[in-house]
Chain A
Amino acid sequence: MAYSDKVLDHFKNPRNVGSLNKEAKNVGTGLVGAPECGDVMRLQIEVDEETGLIRDAKFKTFGCGSAIASSSLATEWLKGKSLDEAGKIDNMDIVEELALPPVKIHCSVLAEDAIKAAIKDYQDKNGIQVEAAPSEATA
């Protein structure tokens, strides 16, 4: 199976690889997937407490090229967004942007789950109640 140029680009030059201090109050961490499934994503957001916008995002991913590209792309998209906007990122947006084939759609789902999990972690840490709880967060 051939990868799209965008997947290859993110794979060769992954954006925002790394770690944020997960103990910090303004950092939300999402860890989704499982080693035995062949995919683990850790996605972190750092929120600017004055503006409420995501100031920084980092990831590390154990997985195939599409999983790495999906999480790399997600961190690019997250920066500068409000939590509300971030929560609306849909896996199909990632599929479209990276031209993922059907067998790789689960990679985009995992990235969406990771975003939601990171937001939820931040909200939990800061005692933010969400009216309509995001139901798809899995971690």
Chain B
Amino acid sequence: MEKRRLIYLDNNATTPCDPRVVETMVPYFYEKHGNAASRSHHFGWEAEDAVDYAREQIAQLLQVEDKEIIFTSGATESNNLALKGVFEMYARKGNHFITAETEHKAILDTCKHLEKQGAEITYLKVKEDGLIDLGELEAAIKPTTVLVSIMWANNETGVIQPMREIAQICEKHGVLFHSDATQAVGKIPTHPRDIGVHLMSFTAHKMYGPKGVGGLYVSRKNPRVKVTAQMDGGGHERGMRSGTLNVPGIVGFGKAAEIARLEMAQDAERLSRLRDKLESALTQLEETKVNGNVGSRMPHVSNISFKHVEGEGLMMTFNQNIAVSSGSACTSASLEPSYVLVGMGLGDDLAHSSIRFSLGRFTTEEDVDEAIRLVANGVNHMRELSPIWEMYKDGVDLSKIEWSAH
């Protein structure tokens, strides 16, 4: 394990701030420190102008009206606001939500919370490729259904759901459609108005902006959607989200959105080429499997299972050099592997053997070449150590062994 510059291939966890974003933010910490809600003096007006400008930059990226953007502290808050806010606002219409098993915890745990408040939630299963079954979605809709919440792209596999088709089903049945687009916004075109998405959550720090600032798109016409505020206070953000605006964060978010709008296509093209290089090299190793629909996937993500090698151990062979994530959460007492991969029908053993690579704007071809070398070495090393690899090589049928689960 030689020491060198750390290669960051965990951009789905968070992205570094683009230096151009940081530069734009800096004046708003000191010289332009005003509160955007101060209506009576220069400092307030300056801050308000900056927020308005950022809102416009984000609206342009999403091709929506600027008034349709609500600033929050991040996508978790946006998801909470969307789900809880709709549940309360539309309580008279119904109490049934539809979502999917492979959603982020910010959706699933919010749904669990709402179930205790009397909501009825349908959790759709996904197919082996990670996509939901549109027939199952439509069949799940009933008269009490008010909301369908399906993520745009999955954080672990990068799989992109059939957004337009889902929107058409929602439209046909007159139910609201929310999407957690945290992993998609800024990286692929995400135009909620055009697609037919009524509420959409997203965050700055997954698109080269700062942490601690996010957004919720709320459609203002056809349909006009309202959500009940989850935080009471000064009535900011059209009354839907009180709290002094994070002006420097929002300024950075706006800049990040502008850069994304201008550079998305070239970034995506470059990253998909690098991702494909990484993936095709690593799948040359024996007994590997790419997880998720490769035809409907984010350009920068690859999730690979290396059979008979445990993910966390594998990561340890190269984590002095490369930062990635594993589908094996071996740090919890329950030792539970990724529920996203298990939800796609992967066995627990394969889920434990999976690694997520997520490239980003600052990933270079040298990074990818080095990652290929180090990961391949790591897999080979761990297989030398693995009793189940030896058994597999000896032709032992692993499914016939009576394992002692613990």
Select the stretch in B73-81, B179-187, B270-278, B397-405 that faces chain A: B397-405
Q: Assuming the A-B contacts A62-B309, A64-B316, are A41 and B406 also in contact, with contact meaning beta carbons closer than 8 angstroms in the complex?
A: no
Within 8 A of A (CB), among B84-115: none
Which of B1, B331, B385, B388 sits near A35, CB closer than 8 Å? B388
Q: Assuming the A-B contacts A11-B316, A33-B406, A37-B406, are A61 and B387 also in contact, with contact meaning beta carbons closer than 8 angstroms in the complex?
A: yes
Return chain A residues, CB-CB under 8 Å to B390. Answer: 19, 60
A46→B404 CA distance, assembly (Å): 23
User: How many residues of A are in contact with the other chain, CB < 8 A?
Assistant: 35
Residue of A nearest to B312 (CB): A64
**Most A C-beta atoms less than 10 A away, residue of B352, B401, B404:** B404
In the complex, whether A12 has a CB less than 8 A from a CB of chain B is yes
Asked whether A60 lies within 8 Å of B386 as measured between CB atoms, the reply is yes
Return chain B residues, CB-CB under 8 Å to A68. Answer: 313, 385
Which of A17, A19, A34 sits near B404, CB closer than 8 Å? A34
Asked whether B331 lies within 8 Å of A39 as measured between CB atoms, the reply is no
In the complex, whether B347 has a CB less than 8 A from a CB of chain A is yes
In the complex, whether B222 has a CB less than 8 A from a CB of chain A is no
A117→B139 CA distance, assembly (Å): 52
Q: Min CB distance, A29 to chain B, in Å?
A: 10
In the complex, whether B210 has a CB less than 8 A from a CB of chain A is no
In the complex, whether A32 has a CB less than 8 A from a CB of chain B is yes
Residue of A nearest to B332 (CB): A103
Asked whether A65 lies within 8 Å of B352 as measured between CB atoms, the reply is no
Which of A61, A64, A138 sits near B406, CB closer than 8 Å? A138
In the complex, whether A92 has a CB less than 8 A from a CB of chain B is no
In the complex, whether A40 has a CB less than 8 A from a CB of chain B is yes
Residue of B nearest to A67 (CB): B313
Residue of B nearest to A19 (CB): B390
A41→B401 CA distance, assembly (Å): 14
In the complex, whether A110 has a CB less than 8 A from a CB of chain B is yes
In the complex, whether B120 has a CB less than 8 A from a CB of chain A is no
Q: Min CB distance, A48 to chain B, in Å?
A: 24
Q: Min CB distance, B348 to chain A, in Å?
A: 3
Asked whether A61 lies within 8 Å of B386 as measured between CB atoms, the reply is yes
Return chain A residues, CB-CB under 8 Å to B333. Answer: 103, 106
Q: Assuming the A-B contacts A33-B404, A35-B352, A36-B347, are A61 and B385 also in contact, with contact meaning beta carbons closer than 8 angstroms in the complex?
A: yes
**Chain A interface (Cβ < 8 Å from any Cβ of B):** 1, 3, 11-12, 14, 17, 19, 31-42, 60-65, 67-68, 103-104, 106, 109-110, 113, 138-139
**Chain B interface (Cβ < 8 Å from any Cβ of A):** 1, 308-310, 312-313, 316, 328, 330-333, 335, 337, 347-349, 352, 384-390, 398, 401, 403-406
Further contacts, 5 of them, CB under 8 A, given A109-B406, A113-B406: A34-B403, A38-B310, A61-B387, A62-B308, A113-B404
